[in-house]
């Protein structure tokens, strides 16, 4: 996966737009209730929050296909994440 660090947009390795990563409530991980290794619960909006660490790219894509409004936590230190400032801006995915 690739993240545009300026816009917070998440893309597949091939450049397909997946999701914009943002929390309108500005919640941090510390403010979530842990459900299991890959899922937490936000008490403020009552939505699940999925931690993508340890998930393969295909698993994240499948999750978003089923639940497009899912909240995601993507760490910049994940082995499957490449940080790219404004790499995708000219692709028309804004």
Stated pTM of the model: 0.76
> Which domain, by its residues, includes 81?
2-91
How far is CA 43 from each of CA 6, 22, 58, rounded to the nearest angstrom? 28, 17, 28
How many domains would you assign to the chain? 1
Residue pLDDT, tens place only, 19-72: 999 888 888 777 788 888 888 988 888 888 999 988 889 999 999 999 988 899
Half-sphere exposure of 83 (CA within 13 A, CB side): 8
Is the model's pLDDT at 92 over the cut of 80? no
Two tokens, residue 27: 């919640």
């Amino acid at each position: 996966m690739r993240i545009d660090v300026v816009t917070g947009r998440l893309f597949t390795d091939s450049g397909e737009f997946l999701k914009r990563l943002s929390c309108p409530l500005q919640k941090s991980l510390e403010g979530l209730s842990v459900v299991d290794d890959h899922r937490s619960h936000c008490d403020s909006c009552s939505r699940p929050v999925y931690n993508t660490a340890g998930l393969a790219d295909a698993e994240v894509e499948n999750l978003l296909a089923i639940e497009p409004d899912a909240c995601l936590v993507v760490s910049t230190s994940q082995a499957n994440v490449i940080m790219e400032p404004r790499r995708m801006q000219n692709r028309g995915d804004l």
